[in-house]
Amino acid sequence: MTSAFAQSNPVRPTSPHTRNRPTKGHARSERAETRRPSGFDRFDLDPRLARALAEAGYDEPRPIQVETIPACLDGRDVMGLAQTGTGKTAAFALPILQGLLEEPGDGPLVLVLAPTRELARQIENEIRTLARYTEIETVCVFGGVSAASQTKALRRRPEIVVGCPGRVLDLLQQRELDLSWVDTLVLDEADHMFDMGFFRDVRKILAALPKDRQNLLFSATMPKEVRSLADQILNDPHVVELAHTKPSERIDHFLYTVDEGRKRALLDHVLAQEDCRTAIVFTRTKHRAKRLAQQLEKQGRSAVALQGNMSQSQRDRAMEGFRAGRFEILVATDIAARGLDVAGIDYVVNYDVPNTPETYTHRIGRTGRSEATGRACTFVTGEDRAWLRDTERILGAPIPSETLPEGLPTAAAGLGGREPRAGGGRRSGGARGASSRDGSRGGASGGAASTRNRSRRGGRRSGRGSASGRASAGR
């Protein structure tokens, strides 16, 4: 039976500029005999994706990929409860790319929403890495820069658009972005989008999308507002629950109880450790991040700040320099606590405690990624006792305490003084004003998502069935 969406939205005529791609049968008929076996072979991915995986160093799929990829390939909606650093970008990117190779078409066909510019750029880069041997195009859109180059790129009708909600909504309202043919939506770091107050924009974007689509939602935590959104947009989702509040066992985390005026000297002590070659230092405010990075630079350390008052080009230079090793220390606010994946971080230092216990886990998760080990230390003052009690209760265990080194001097000026807490001293919750703007549209309707009719590309989601069924159909 033809769906109402298919009746009202017939397949759009193919553009004369549509790229020539191998047919599905041709793409699936070849296997690179010289490629050594990989754990990703179980997913029966296109040889071009398999080649990119091998060259990028992907040998064995990680747990979230094992759980997510088959469901995505079958057209199911997915709700993934997983922290950053678990490999979830590849978990949704690989099945999306596989679908685009099997049933190509003019874009945008896939929309990926992320809360920060840095995370959006990171997602874009990973998708490009996996799609390097295909002709699939990805465009990233975000605020803080001119929209001219982004609108020019969108006119090429890329298959995948990755962006932040604010810029996506702006381009949509300016009619520079056409979402009428999107059949896959990804919401990454949904809880962070809520914390940053983006849910109103997200709901406006959702209203512009076709009703019949595949939805993939990923979140490290599940506050009631995110749960409500999931209930509204997900249809019989496959749930992948890998999230946890405890830090990775690969992270040695501990705390120092220290007076505010001695934090600066303690930081010097930590950064001087032999095993501390690279570090991310988290501060509470943008001003403190900037000042601390400047002070470290004056000491002769290669340090750079990352905070919200910086322009996009400044933030790009900071992150690119840190990734390339030109800077050994990144001093950041919580803008860098979620999603950013930089390999080989030895230490995370919480110069100021985070606002919530959940953010503690996200922060220290910048080290100990991809099976590596790392250390994380937190500076706790007398005013942080309530935060420490709440965090240890959620973790289910006390955070080990280290003895202060002897002879720490007290700061005479600069960062030794106290800074007020953001939000007038509130220790919990993020930009919760978004919750009052949240409308309710009722619960999700039941029914399986795996048999949805996809009019845009001849129903690429419908009838795909299980992996064995796809293989028997000539794949």
113: phi then psi, degrees, rounded to nearest 5: -105, 135
In a domain, 228, yes or no: yes
In a domain, 384, yes or no: yes
Are 379 and 233 part of one and the same domain? no
- Which letter does DSSP use for residue 262 in this model? G
CA 122 to chain CA centroid, nearest Å: 8
With cut-offs at 50, 70 and 90, classify the pLDDT of residue 36: low
Residue 316's CB: how many other CB atoms inside 10 A?
A: 15
Does residue 462 surpass a pLDDT of 70?
Answer: no
Question: What pLDDT does residue 427 have?
Answer: 35
Question: What pLDDT does residue 14 have?
Answer: 38
213-235 pLDDT, tens digit each = 999 999 887 888 888 999 999 99
What residues are paired with 348 via a beta bridge?
280, 376
Tell me the CB-side half-sphere exposure of residue 348, using CA atoms within 13 A: 33
Are 91 and 231 part of one and the same domain? yes
DSSP-derived 3-state class of residue 163: strand
Q: Would you put residue 459 in left (φ > 0), alpha (ψ -120 to 50) or beta?
A: left
Question: What pLDDT does residue 192 have?
Answer: 84
Q: Return the higher-pLDDT residue of 97 and 361.
A: 97
Domain boundary among 340, 373, 396: 396
Are 262 and 352 part of one and the same domain? yes
With cut-offs at 50, 70 and 90, classify the pLDDT of residue 248: low
Q: How far apart are CA 255 and CA 404, in angstroms?
A: 10
Question: What pLDDT does residue 368 have?
Answer: 62
What residues have CB less than 8 Å from 349, skipping those under 6 apart? 267, 270, 271, 279, 280, 281, 282, 376, 377, 378, 379
Q: How far apart are CA 289 and CA 278, in angstroms?
A: 17
**Structural domain containing residue 288:** 251-396
Q: Return the higher-pLDDT residue of 162 and 436.
A: 162
In a domain, 348, yes or no: yes
Average of pLDDT values for 165-178? 96
Tell me the CB-side half-sphere exposure of residue 339, using CA atoms within 13 A: 28
In the block, tokens 């501060």 appear at 283
Does residue 80 surpass a pLDDT of 60?
Answer: yes
Question: What pLDDT does residue 372 have?
Answer: 64
CATH of the domain at 117: 3.40.50.300
Q: Are 375 and 367 in contact (CB under 8 A)?
A: yes
In the block, tokens 């995110």 appear at 226
Q: How far apart are CA 387 and CA 367, in angstroms?
A: 22
Burial class (CB in 10 A: 0-12, 13-18, 19+), 152: exposed
Domain boundary among 346, 378, 396: 396
In a domain, 420, yes or no: no
Are 202 and 149 part of one and the same domain? yes
Are 239 and 343 part of one and the same domain? no
Are 387 and 464 part of one and the same domain? no
Are 21 and 53 part of one and the same domain? yes
Question: What pLDDT does residue 461 have?
Answer: 45
Are 237 and 257 part of one and the same domain? no
DSSP-derived 3-state class of residue 253: strand
Are 326 and 208 part of one and the same domain? no
How many helices (H) and strands (E) would you count in the chain?
18, 13
Question: What pLDDT does residue 338 have?
Answer: 60
What residues have CB less than 8 Å from 350, skipping those under 6 apart? 282, 360, 363, 364, 376, 377, 378, 379
Q: How far apart are CA 280 and CA 350, in angstroms?
A: 9
- Which letter does DSSP use for residue 24 in this model? H
Q: DSSP for 294-311?
A: HHHHHTT--EEEE-TTS-
Average of pLDDT values for 248-263? 86
With cut-offs at 50, 70 and 90, classify the pLDDT of residue 24: very low
Highest mean pLDDT among 236-240, 316-320, 468-472: 236-240
Question: What pLDDT does residue 447 have?
Answer: 40
In a domain, 417, yes or no: no
Q: How far from each other are the two terminal CA atoms of the chain, in whole angstroms?
A: 25
In a domain, 425, yes or no: no
Domain boundary among 348, 378, 396: 396
In the block, tokens 């759009």 appear at 12
Structural domain tally of the chain? 2
Q: Are 74 and 463 in contact (CB under 8 A)?
A: no
Indicate the helix (H) or strand (E) that contains 194. helix 190-195
Q: DSSP for 300-362?
A: T--EEEE-TTS-HHHHHHHHHHHHHTS-SEEEE-GGGSSS---TT--EEEESS--SSHHHHHH
Are 126 and 171 part of one and the same domain? yes
Q: Are 43 and 68 in contact (CB under 8 A)?
A: no
16: phi then psi, degrees, rounded to nearest 5: -65, -15
Are 182 and 124 part of one and the same domain? yes
Are 281 and 174 part of one and the same domain? no
57-66 pLDDT, tens digit each = 888 898 899 9
In a domain, 408, yes or no: no
Question: What pLDDT does residue 449 have?
Answer: 38
395-450 pLDDT, tens digit each = 888 999 999 998 888 765 445 444 444 433 333 333 333 333 333 333 333 343 33
In a domain, 413, yes or no: no
Q: DSSP for 27-81?
A: HHH---TTSPP-GGGGG---HHHHHHHHHTT--S--HHHHHHHHHHHTT--EEEE
Q: Are 315 and 289 in contact (CB under 8 A)?
A: no
Question: What pLDDT does residue 86 have?
Answer: 74
191-221 pLDDT, tens digit each = 888 888 899 999 999 999 999 999 999 988 7
